[in-house]
Amino acid sequence: MDYTSDGDAEVEAYGASTFELLVSGSLKVMSDEGVYQCPFCSDEEQEYSLDDLLQHALEVGTAFDQQAKEKADHRALAKHLKNKPAESSVDSLLQPMLTDPQIPQNSRDEQFAWPWMGILVNMPNEFFGKSANRLKEHLSSFHPVKVHPVYSRGSPTRDAIVEFGKDWNGFRNARAFESHFTMKGYIKKCWKEMKCRGTEPVGWMARADDHSSQGAIGELLRKNCDLKSLNDIVNDGTNRTDKLMVNLACQVKEKEMHLEKLESEYNKSSTTLDELMQKKEQLLQSYTQEILKMRQLSQQNTHRVVEENRKLQSDLKGMMDELDRRNKQIEELSAQSECNIRELELEKQMNASKANNLRLAALEQQKASENVNKIMERQKREKEAVLENIMRLSIQSEKKHNLELDIKHLMRQLQVMELKPEDEDSGLGKKIDELKEELSEKITELNDAESFNQTLIARESKNSDELREAREVLIDALQGLIGTTNSQTHIGIRRIGELDSKVFLKTCKRKLSSQDAKAESIILCSKWQSEISNPEWNPFRVTMVDGHEVEVIREDDKKLHELKEYGEEAYAAVTKALTELKDVNGRRRDPFPELWNYKEDRKAHMTEAVRYAMKLWNESKVKKAKRRS
């Protein structure tokens, strides 16, 4: 049979048979648990009240997207529910009467069951053995939180405990529950005196005597609640409120102190930042002036060399013109006097030779000028490259420093703004988000700058390693040459931190014979060399010089005080060795070879050492050539 038609006749035909089944009881609307359910929606095990089930039947019966049979069945159900009489006379008994429950003054010390409980006894047969939800639905006018059916020895009874919660609304609902039965005369006293043992339910508010009573009701009350008076609850609430207010006041005070601390740090950081920015501007201005000065000096030197070159060319040209003039005079004189032909020819040859020499000199001068220009150009490029590297490193360092300062500034500002109370119209949340986004961008930019710095540092470290290796090779090469390890040469090898026994010889000669003094000076030199190499001996102290920490010799050191007995020369030699080892290489205390400029008494540069090595090599080649000849 086709159920898709929506014709009214067909719907009425289906609905008539369904209505008969509902009236006869073949189709049940209420389950065994006393819960209303739709007999046609088998896939939805949903519980309804009578009104909700009627509303459900009407909605499905009038829907356009339902099949005819579904609509007919639900229309029949709606018709049956509309004609259904009131569920029970008990419903009217459980509807609250309009009362205004007041709290008697003398009941403030009376103890009640808490959470607030109501006791319902002598329930009608319609509610015997029904579910707690069913009972709660019928008592919904009193807004119960939960209903506890009372069981005696595992069997259901006609009694129940109604829970109304712990707040004052629950107390008012419990009082309304008790007042409802009081106005009808179905009260606890009547029940205790056996005056209302009929079919009418009796209810009252649970108190101390109910809580301590024997039986299933007293046992259930003791299990689910305590005893408290109204004054106890008021005092508990007051104490909790006072504690909460004290805690909130402490938190507010801590927040205010923290906020003041952050604002102080922020102001201090802002002041420091301003000072740093001023110093940075001064350094940048000084650096710019120095760069401009260097460029001006370079330009002046270039102009001077060019002007000198032009002057030399002008002088050469004047001399060439003078020679041409004299040649013309000679030719004129030769025509006048033949007797002086030989002298004139000789003079012409001499002039030609001089002219040739001048031409060669001019060519050499031109080549020298070209070489000078090339050297000046190369020097200019090297200076520009060095200045560019210095500028780039300075800008990169300054950029990194500025980013770090900006990040600290933004983090301080963000902390202060997060602690301030947020107003709806102030847009503080938007400002905080913008600061967070700006802070994230600054951190990313700082990471990029740090990565670039690491690349530059790695490149510089590689160059330093190569330079150090070249320096070590040069030191090894010069150590093998005669005359490079004493002060008689300009550039040589000096062992840093090594003592000379001669500094102790003068003192020893005053006390011992010449031979014994020499041996004693060697022993003293070896002893103090061992003391210098001892890493546990630290005769230095830290002092502030121009705002920087500097390590200097501690004059009150016991060993150095003992050393003064051997004379100022020995004391100066040992302290100089200690200072040199600390300044040149603070990580080692043993003597080591180093390139040294004996003329200026300082560490030699690589360029000086390389030039000196080339000079020695050229001298060696000349000596070998002389020997061969």
What are the φ/ψ torsions at residue 161 (nearest 5 degrees)? -110, 125
Separation between Cα atoms, residue 576 and residue 570, nearest integer Å: 10
Say if CB 373 and CB 301 are below 8 A apart: no
DSSP reduced 3-state for 614: helix
Say if CB 69 and CB 14 are below 8 A apart: yes
The pLDDT score that the predictor gives to residue 426 is: 55
Mean pLDDT by 10 residues, the chain (629 residues): 48 72 73 71 68 80 78 84 52 46 58 91 71 79 88 83 89 89 80 68 88 87 88 80 84 87 87 86 85 82 79 81 79 64 71 69 58 54 57 69 74 71 59 78 80 77 76 77 61 81 81 82 87 85 82 85 84 85 72 83 80 77 68
Task: Write the DSSP assignment of 487-518 as a string of letters.
Answer: TTSSEEEEEET---THHHHHHHHHHS-HHHHH
Separation between Cα atoms, residue 431 and residue 400, nearest integer Å: 25
**Residue keyed to tokens 């330009």:** 299
Q: Which residues pair with 597 in a beta bridge?
A: 491, 602
Our CA dihedral for 450, 454, 457, 463, rounded to 10 degrees, sits at -150
DSSP reduced 3-state for 151: strand
Separation between Cα atoms, residue 550 and residue 503, nearest integer Å: 28
Separation between Cα atoms, residue 95 and residue 142, nearest integer Å: 9
Q: Which residues pair with 36 in a beta bridge?
A: 30, 48
| Listed residue (124, 130, 135, 123) closest to 31, CA to CA | 130
| Listed residue (146, 117, 104, 123) closest to 208, CA to CA | 117
The pLDDT score that the predictor gives to residue 424 is: 47
The pLDDT score that the predictor gives to residue 20 is: 75
In 200-229, where does DSSP find H-type helix?
Answer: 208-211, 216-224
The pLDDT score that the predictor gives to residue 98 is: 41
The pLDDT score that the predictor gives to residue 8 is: 59
CA distance from start to end of the chain:
135
* Helices 341-419, 428-479: inter-axial angle, 10-degree rounding: 140
**Residue keyed to tokens 């560490």:** 603
**Angle at Cα 435 formed by Cα 432 and Cα 440, nearest 5°?**
125
Separation between Cα atoms, residue 33 and residue 124, nearest integer Å: 15
The pLDDT score that the predictor gives to residue 164 is: 92
Cis peptide before 115 (omega within 30 of 0): yes
pTM above 0.85, yes or no: no
